[in-house]
Amino acid sequence: MIRYIYADDLARYPALRNSMLRDRATQFHDRLKWEVTVDAEGFEQDQYDALNPLYVIWEEGGLHGGSMRFLPTTGDTMVNDHFAHLAGGAITAPGIWETTRFCVSPGSANKARAANVLMMAGGQLGVGFGLSHSIGVFDARMVRIYRQLGWEPEILGADGTGRDAISAGLWAFDEAVLTRMCLAAGVSRELSQLWFDRAFGLALPKVA
């Protein structure tokens, strides 16, 4: 299932949290060789994890199957702090949120499905809160992956060449994209909405 969890609520899900931060270390430190910090427990975290971001997490058997991280561009974001030159300068609007750390667990039972469901959940978040766009920074390899997933960002600017290229891009939110992502993920629009409502709108009645 998809969970939408703020950082300050993550402690309530220790297995999910720990597996997410370890999977991020594997993906961003070990595989992609990014200059990220991995602590003694094997967790990859940066300064933006300390800003109480909203995580979108695909949970598989109580563990992390994949995730990404959202922050509003009205506050501090990675793209505006470090990659504004790729985006033509800092972009700041209530309807635009930054997405970072798109990660699929190496232990996921179905990595392609995990990626599809995450894209769907990103679309659900945008449509659900009436956002216009999401902005992100990603390496060259991801451009092809986003295309395969059926929802390409529009590139604002890029630095470097070949495998080392890094780009800033925009995803535009609308209902049609969300419907398409639901189909690709094999999740009904209703179920996607239910996961969203459970996190933000509709608190399910407790069983007495």
Partner 1 sequence: MTRLPLRRVSFQTLTCRQRGYVSLNKLVDMQEALSNAKSLEELQTFVEGLRGVYGIDNLVYHSVNASGGQYAALTYSDTWVERYIEKGYERIDPVVQGCYKRFTPIDWKALDWSGKPSRDFLGEAASQGLGNQGFSVPIRGPSGQFALFSVNQKDNDDRWAQFTEERASDLILIAHYMNERALEIEGGPSQGPVRALSPREKDALTLLALGNNRAGVAEALQISENTLRVYIESARFKMGATNTVHAVATALTHGLIVV
Please give the Cα distance from 208 to 206 (Å, whole number). 6
What does each C-alpha distance from 93 to 84, 121, 124, 128, 152 come to in angstroms?
Answer: 14, 21, 19, 17, 21
Q: List binders of partner 1 among 58-77 (CB under 8 A).
A: 71-76
Q: List binders of partner 1 among 137-196 (CB under 8 A).
A: 154, 156, 170, 172, 175
First to last CA, the chain: 24
Strand 96-104 to 154-159 pairing: unpaired
Q: To the nearest whole angstrom, how small is the minimum distance from the Cβ of residue 104 to partner 1?
A: 24
Determine, following the binding rule CB under 8 A, whether residue 52 of this chain makes contact with partner 1.
Answer: yes
Q: To the nearest whole angstrom, how small is the minimum distance from the Cβ of residue 72 to partner 1?
A: 5
Determine, following the binding rule CB under 8 A, whether residue 91 of this chain makes contact with partner 1.
Answer: yes
Torsions phi, psi for 101 (to 5 deg): 55, 45
Do 25 and 49 meet the contact criterion of CB atoms below 8 Å apart?
no
Residue keyed to tokens 């630095």: 159
Please give the Cα distance from 55 to 142 (Å, whole number). 19
Determine, following the binding rule CB under 8 A, whether residue 45 of this chain makes contact with partner 1.
Answer: no
Which of residues 2, 56, 57, 96 is near partner 1 by CB under 8 A?
Answer: 96
Q: To the nearest whole angstrom, how small is the minimum distance from the Cβ of residue 200 to partner 1?
A: 6
Q: To the nearest whole angstrom, how small is the minimum distance from the Cβ of residue 159 to partner 1?
A: 16
Q: List binders of partner 1 among 102-121 (CB under 8 A).
A: none
Which spans of this chain sit near partner 1 (rule: CB under 8 A)? 6, 8, 52, 54, 71-76, 84, 87-96, 127-130, 132-133, 135, 154, 156, 170, 172, 175, 197, 200-203, 205-206
